Amino acid sequence: MTGAKADLGRRRRLLGGAVCGLVAAFAGLAVAELAAAVVRPEAAPVTAVGGTVVDLTPTAVKEWAIRQFGTADKLVLALGIVLVLGAVAAAAGVLAVRRLPAGLAVAGAFGLVGALAATSRPEASWRDALPSLAGGLAAAGVLYLLVRALRRPRPAGAPPGGAGAMDRRGFGRLVAATLAASAGIGYAGRRLGAYGSLGAGASRAGLVLPPPDVPAPPVPPGAEPAVRGTSPFLTAAGDFYRVDTALVVPRVDADTWRLRIHGEGVARPLELDLRALLARPLVEHDITLTCVSNEVGGPYAGNARWLGVRLADLLHEAGVRPPSRGGPADQLVARSVDGMTIGTPVETVMDGREALLAVGMNGEPLPFAHGFPVRMVVPGLYGYVSACKWLRELHLTTFSAYDAYWVRRGWAAQAPVKTQSRIDTPRPSAEPLAGQVAVAGVAWAQHRGIARVEVRVDGGPWQEARLADADGVDTWRLWSWPWEAAPGRHTLQVRATDGGGAVQTEEVRPPVPDGATGLHTVAVHVRPRPAAAAAAAARTG
C-alpha cells in the first residue's frame, strides 16, 4: 500500500465519519423536534439542556453573558449547545467508522442526557423524556446506516478510482436523502408545534379586556420628551425589554388558565379562572418596570400602562392579613407555568400601592413574551422580586422558610428599586457640534417619585435639569438640559433626587446582589463649528 492510498483511506475515514456523525445528529434533532411538538415544546432536547444550563450557571457567568450578549444571550446559548453537539457528533461518527457499537453508544448517551435534562425541568413529567429518546434512537439508526454505506467494500474487480467514485456518489446520495428527510421532519415538527399552540393564540386573539373600573388619567402632555432621540414616556410592548429564563416563550391558553392562592394564613384559599378574575374590579395604572441586572445606564427599564386586579383585594378576599396586622406569612411566592418562583413581601403588596395581577399592557392583552394571560406588577420592586410572568400560583409563606429562584443564586431576597438616572442623548462617543446640545434622558425611583435631576460636565458643579411633568410616583420621569458645549472631549454625568429628598448615590456597585449604583457617565467629543473653526484658523493664520 502506498502512502498516498493510506492517506486517502484515512481522510475518507475521518471526513466520511464526521459527515456520518453530523447527519445522524441532525436527523436525531429533527425527530426530537417533531416528538416535542406532540409532547411539549419545552421538552425538545436543545431547549431542555439549555434550560438546565441556564439554571446551573453561576450568577457571575450569567451576569457576564447578559453584559456580553444582552437579550441575544439565549441565541448564543442555543448556538453554543448546537456547536458542542456538532463537535461530539462528528467525533462519534469518526469513532463509529472504527467501532460501530461505540459510535452508536454515544448517540444513545446523547439521547439519555437530553431525556434526563427534559424530565428534571420544572413541571416536567416522564413523557418529556420521549423526544430525546426518540431523537437518540433516530440518530443511532441513521449513524448505523450511513457508516455501513461508507464502509461498503468496492465491488471486486472494479477498476480503482471509477468504482470508488461510484461508492462515494452512492454515499453522497444517501447523505443528501437523509438530510432532506430530516429537514422535512424538523420543519413538520416546527409547524406542528405552532399548531399545538394555536389554542393559546386564539384565546389571546379572542380576549376582549373589559374597560377599567378605575381608569388611569391621561398621560399629561408635558410628561412626553422635549428632545428627539429620547425614550417616549410609555414604552410600546414591542420595544419593552424582556428578561426571563424561558428559552421558548410559554404560550398559555387563557381558556384553561387557573390561578391558585393558598398557604399560611390563607383562611379561604381561592382558585380562579380568567373569567372570574376579569369579573373583579379592574384598575389601570402606569408603572415603570426595571430589572435588577441592569447596569447603570443600561436598557432594562420600560414604562407601560397596566390593567389588572388589585392583588391586595384578592388577598383580603382569601382572608390574608399582612404581618403588621398579625398575619403569619411575610412572603408571597408567585409561581409561573414554567417553574419560575418570585418572592415578594406581603407587607409591600398590601400597603396600598397599586400592586396588580395584570392582564393588559398599553390597552392590549399581555403579549405572550410579557406573561400572557396574567402577570404580577408591583411598583417600587425590581422585576425578579415582583413581576412574575405566566402566573399560575400564589403561595403564602415566610422568607425564612423559602428561597425563590434568584435568591438561591445569590441575589437579595428583598430588593426595592434604587434611584437611577440615565442619559439617552447624546450617545456615548457622539460627536455633536459646539453650541447648544440637548442633553436628555430618564430618571426613576418607583413609588417614591423623582423630585429633581441634575447634570454636570467634566466633574464641575451640578446644574439643575428641566423635569418633564410627573405622571405619578410609580413611573420614570423624563428630563432635559440645554448644554452650551465647547469644543473638545467632555464627560457628562447625571444624578436624581427621589420624592423623599434622597440623592442618588455616586458609590459604584455591581448589579449583584440588589441592584447597581453609581452615576451614568457619557463621554462625548464636541466638534468645533465649521465657521468658528475657519474664523479661528483665519485669526491664528
Ligand X SMILES: Nc1nc2c(c(=O)[nH]1)N[C@H]1C(S)=C(S)[C@@H](COP(=O)(O)O)O[C@H]1N2
If binding means CB under 6 A, how many residues of this protein chain bind ligand X?
19
SS3 536: helix
* Closer residue to ligand X, CB minimum distance, 389 or 422: 389
CA–CA gap between residue 277 and residue 313 (Å, rounded): 11
SS3 462: coil
SS3 184: helix
Q: Which of 107, 291, 359, 455: binder of Mo ion (CB under 5 A)?
A: 291
CA–CA gap between residue 417 and residue 2 (Å, rounded): 74
Q: Which position has the grid cell 386586579?
A: 309
Beta carbon of residue 261, minimum distance to ligand X (angstroms, whole number) = 17
* Closer residue to Mo ion, CB minimum distance, 66 or 318: 66
245 binds, among ligand X, Mo ion, none (CB under 5 to 8 A by kind): ligand X
Q: Does position 251 bind ligand X by CB under 6 A?
A: no
118 binds, among ligand X, Mo ion, none (CB under 5 to 8 A by kind): none
DSSP annotation of 220 = P
Q: What is the DSSP string of 3-54?
A: HHHHHHHHHHHHHHHHHHHHHHHHHHHHHHHHHHHHH-GGGSHHHHHHHHHH
C-alpha cell at position 316:
383580603
Q: Which of 33, 42, 128, 244: binder of ligand X (CB under 6 A)?
A: 244
C-alpha cell at position 250:
410559554
C-alpha cell at position 438:
440637548
Q: Does position 384 bind ligand X by CB under 6 A?
A: yes
Q: Does position 393 bind ligand X by CB under 6 A?
A: no
Q: Which of 242, 260, 321, 527: binder of ligand X (CB under 6 A)?
A: 242
* Closer residue to ligand X, CB minimum distance, 90 or 512: 512
Region near ligand X per CB under 6 A, out of 213-221, 388-396, 408-416, 417-425: 388-396
Closest residue to ligand X in the complex (CB): 383
- Which residues 6+ apart lie within 8 Å of 204 measured at CB? 254, 365, 368, 372, 373
* Closer residue to ligand X, CB minimum distance, 390 or 483: 390
Q: Does position 370 bind ligand X by CB under 6 A?
A: yes
Beta carbon of residue 243, minimum distance to Mo ion (angstroms, whole number) = 4
Beta carbon of residue 437, minimum distance to ligand X (angstroms, whole number) = 31
| Cα-based distances in Å from 55 to 58, 339, 340 | 8, 11, 10
- Which residues 6+ apart lie within 8 Å of 193 measured at CB? 33, 36, 37, 41
Q: Within 10 Å of residue 169's Cβ, how many Cβ atoms?
A: 10
* Residue 136 identity: G
CA–CA gap between residue 224 and residue 468 (Å, rounded): 7
Region near ligand X per CB under 6 A, out of 381-389, 452-460, 483-491, 492-500: 381-389
Q: Which position has the grid cell 403569619?
A: 328
372 binds, among ligand X, Mo ion, none (CB under 5 to 8 A by kind): none
Q: Which of 26, 368, 372, 390: binder of ligand X (CB under 6 A)?
A: 390
Q: Which residues within the stretch 117-156 sit at the binding site for ligand X (CB under 6 A)?
A: none
Beta carbon of residue 419, minimum distance to Mo ion (angstroms, whole number) = 17
Closest residue to Mo ion in the complex (CB): 291
C-alpha cell at position 5:
492510498
Q: Does position 447 bind ligand X by CB under 6 A?
A: no
CA–CA gap between residue 21 and residue 139 (Å, rounded): 8
Q: Does position 354 bind ligand X by CB under 6 A?
A: no
Contact 409, 397 (CB under 8 A): no
| Half-sphere exposure (Cβ direction) of 150: Cα atoms closer than 13 Å | 26
Q: Does position 336 bind ligand X by CB under 6 A?
A: yes
* Closer residue to ligand X, CB minimum distance, 74 or 520: 74
257 binds, among ligand X, Mo ion, none (CB under 5 to 8 A by kind): none
Q: Does position 387 bind ligand X by CB under 6 A?
A: yes
Instruction: Please count the residues of the chain.
Output: 541
Q: Which of 133, 312, 320, 340: binder of ligand X (CB under 6 A)?
A: 340
Q: Which of 51, 111, 265, 383: binder of Mo ion (CB under 5 A)?
A: 383
If binding means CB under 5 A, how many residues of this protein chain bind Mo ion?
4
Q: Does position 257 bind ligand X by CB under 6 A?
A: no
350 CA to centre of own chain: 29
Q: Which residues within the stretch 292-321 sit at the binding site for ligand X (CB under 6 A)?
A: 302
Q: Which of 289, 468, 485, 516: binder of ligand X (CB under 6 A)?
A: 289
Q: What angle do CA 457, 463, 466 make, to 5 degrees?
A: 115
Beta carbon of residue 384, minimum distance to ligand X (angstroms, whole number) = 4
Region near Mo ion per CB under 5 A, out of 204-212, 325-333, 375-383, 525-533: 375-383
| Half-sphere exposure (Cβ direction) of 308: Cα atoms closer than 13 Å | 30
Q: Within 10 Å of residue 501's Cβ, how many Cβ atoms?
A: 9
Q: Which of 140, 388, 455, 496: binder of ligand X (CB under 6 A)?
A: 388
Contact footprint for ligand X (CB under 6 A): 240-245, 289, 291, 302, 336, 338, 340, 370, 383-384, 387-390
Contact footprint for Mo ion (CB under 5 A): 243, 291, 383-384
